């Protein structure tokens, strides 16, 4: 079985999704299928076919969430320390290509919990890969879709 590094928050989010799927979405879908069946001829019943397709999608998401939870290797950043970027670190970066711009802060997380809008980047992402193993004060080059970007690691925290 494969393992996936994950923060405690990521595991909590995976459990919440599984709960939603098992106790809300799937039961509602079963009711939708029963209601569609009551309308008669299943061969030409678009509601029935749509509900059955949704059921397959929901079941796939349930299996994926169960697999993710079973394979989670939980790493609590609060138990880590140091000035080197590792999984779970929260890193503040100075954009050397735009020194007048604001700093950016990212937490290095597992690939299944990344959310760029909330500052969570995967350790497998281009910037995550570039940061892992580096120290405060190091300059880092990151290849992005718009070209190379230069950053300086300002602060490494574990929280």
| CATH number of domain containing 122 | 3.10.50.30
Same structural domain, 86 and 58: no
Angle between helices 46-70 and 8-20 (to 10 degrees): 150
Q: Pick from 11, 2, 3: which is nearest to 113 by CA?
A: 11
How far, in Å, CA of 81 to CA of 105, rounded? 17
Same structural domain, 99 and 144: yes
pLDDT band at 1 (very low <50, low <70, confident <90, very high): low
Q: Which two tokens stand for residue 71?
A: 């394979």
In angstroms, what CA-CA distances link 5 with 67, 68, 81, 92? 13, 10, 17, 21
Read off the pLDDT of residues 39-65 as tens digits, 9 standing for 90 and up. Answer: 877 777 888 889 999 999 999 999 999
Same structural domain, 67 and 135: no
Domain boundary among 52, 74, 96: 74
pTM to 2 decimal places: 0.83
Same structural domain, 52 and 122: no
Residues of the chain above pLDDT 70, percent: 98
For the chain, the domain total comes to 2
Domain with 114 in it: 77-157
């Amino acid at each position: 079985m494969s393992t996936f590094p994950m923060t405690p928050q990521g595991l909590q989010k995976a459990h919440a999704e599984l709960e939603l799927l098992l106790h809300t979405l799937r039961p509602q879908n079963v009711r939708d299928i029963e209601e569609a069946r009551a309308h008669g001829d299943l061969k030409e019943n678009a509601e029935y076919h749509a509900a059955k397709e949704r059921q397959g999608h929901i079941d796939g998401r349930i299996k994926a969430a169960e697999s993710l939870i079973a394979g989670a290797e939980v790493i609590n950043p609060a138990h880590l320390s140091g000035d080197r970027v590792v999984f779970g670190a929260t890193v503040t970066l100075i954009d050397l290509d735009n020194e007048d711009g604001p700093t950016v802060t990212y937490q290095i997380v597992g690939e299944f919990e990344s959310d760029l809008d909330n500052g969570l980047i995967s350790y497998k992402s281009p910037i995550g890969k570039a940061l892992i193993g580096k120290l405060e004060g190091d300059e880092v080059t990151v290849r992005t879709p718009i070209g190379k970007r230069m950053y300086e690691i300002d602060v490494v925290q574990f929280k």
